[in-house]
Structure 1
Amino acid sequence: LLDVVMPGMDGYAVLEAIQQHPQLADVPVIFLSALDGSTDEERGLALGAVDYIVKPIHPAVVLARVKAHVTLKQMRDTLLGRNSVLEEEVERRMQENQLIQDVSILALAHLAEIRDSETGNHLRRTKAYIAILAQYLLAQGYPDAALTPRSVPLLVKSAVLHDIGKVGIPDDILQKREALDAAEWQVMRRHAELGFEAIELAEREAAQPVAFLAFAKQIARWHHERWDGGGYPDGLKGLEIPLSARLMALADVFDALISPRGYKAPLPADAVRAMILAERGGQFDPDVVDAFEQNFDRFLDVAARYIQADATA
């Protein structure tokens, strides 16, 4: 309850000071004043008072109006508290659903990886490489509608499904330690289309669109396409290849070259770098190669971390 005419600070100045105080800002303020002009009342209400009572006061009226405003304040606080609880519950469930989704994605991806024992931490490494490239291009303002702050995490998440189609490749081909012959190679190449078809089927059967599956389909089908048009399965060229697949194309090849396999030793880092740079505009998107060159040391850090984990597993 606040008077208006007071020595020093008047009531309006006191109200403004109250509203600046974190612990008092939500306290309802009622003016009690002998100033009975409409402009005085309008000013008090405009400043945030909940009521304006003109003197002389009637105690019963004042008590009733105080009670009404205290009740309103309590109801508002209760609603805010309930909203806060509801928001926390919604956030908790969203995080839980996100965790379930992420674990399910990794479980699917590992179906392919488990059957190919040579790949080790290939999924984790390629996912990290994709993140480095996508975040760098985004920061550089790379002009692609698929590259936004919101889409980059989805793109990175979908990267682990790039070889899901290998589930449909026979073991005698998938696990062969020698070079594949022409017929076997044609079967192996089918994994790109098989992965695309499997993800597309899941997408069609989903109750609602799942954003990351669009990237997952692109990567699964087209991560073996080449910038110069000489890749598979569709022979896409240049910007016909979605950015997500162009990123995975480089990440996948880099990891294959830098990592040990049963049929080969890892190539030296400088040799791998030179081979990637030599394919700028050939196998790989020139802009993606430039992003790789700028972040080469970060690629090596990822490779060293996960390859060491493979060795100690």
Structure 2
Amino acid sequence: MEKYSQFRDKGTAIAPFLPVPTAPTSLLWAPIHFTLFILRAPAVLCLSIFYFGLIEYLPVGSLIKRCVLWAVLAVPGVWWVDLQVDGVKRGKLAEKKDHLPHAGTVIASSFTSPLDPLYLAGIFTPVFTRSWPEERKVEVVSLFRAITLAFSQPQLAPPKSAKLFTLKELTQRYHESIICVFPECTTTNGRGILPFSPSLLTTDPRTKIYPVNLRYTPGDITTPVPGGAPSWIWRLLSKPTHCMRVRIARHMYNNRTLDTPVAKDVLKASGVDMGFDTNIWDSPHMRNGIKHSGDSEDDGGRTEVSAEEKRVIDRVGEDLARLGRVKRVGLGVPEKIEFVKVWESRRR
């Protein structure tokens, strides 16, 4: 793969856009893979049509929707084998519910596979959004659209027809739901974290942001290259199992002052709750003329990122890299667009 060396990060030598090769299998396993595919394909197709064509539009409870989505994951043998949450010991998760995303919060998720939104929908039923590298506002997308984005060409800017919102507006509109953001704006092979969109900077400074990283074993069900849906479906359905590991970091805010011990002590002393419905900035201890990135109504229209805002984005990126045990890279959407051009021309 030396011919793609220009798409390796100079600091880490990581190539986040190269597909993960499938491990070779013996001819003895070929009939088994073919049989698994034949048995699973009709079931997954029927469940998908049942959910996206009917259940998604019916006023049924979230439990029914989650059961159908988990069935879609279970049929191909996608197993959730490990969940780790920062600050929570094994077996103590029920006592630390605040460490998990909940209504009125934002998920900043890694994006490597169509299974990412499917899993997140099966667990958190969030409102999915699409981000762009030079745009602060986001577009609300359906679960099906979020899945297909994993196979789509990366874009630098939203289409003119897109209806855009700030994350602050969405948390107010969908106050009983979680908002999910894919800040890398495009998929990778899971070996690096791309530079983030500034969309996270439109989050209300009172809203909790949870970095979430998902990893798969084997890694060949990631989709760093657009297209290739048929081959991906074959890899998904023909293998016995796929293991999924989920990591959730401690929540943070779109304001570093909330994450300092001084701020937390002041809030505790003043009796101010840090929940979504509480306006902590009404506290006289927290005012003092401080300007925050989520306070301005014009914030959604700015593209430049200040030093304070960059520190917020950097922390989310560092958490995602730590959770995935990978490194942050300097390659982003513009480099992936060039990579796709080279990849497709050389394959032809």
TM tier, smaller = under 0.3
Structure (1/2) with the larger helix percentage: 1
**TM-score where L is the length of structure 2:** 0.25
The structure whose Rg is larger is 1
The structure whose residues are more often strand, as a share, is: 2
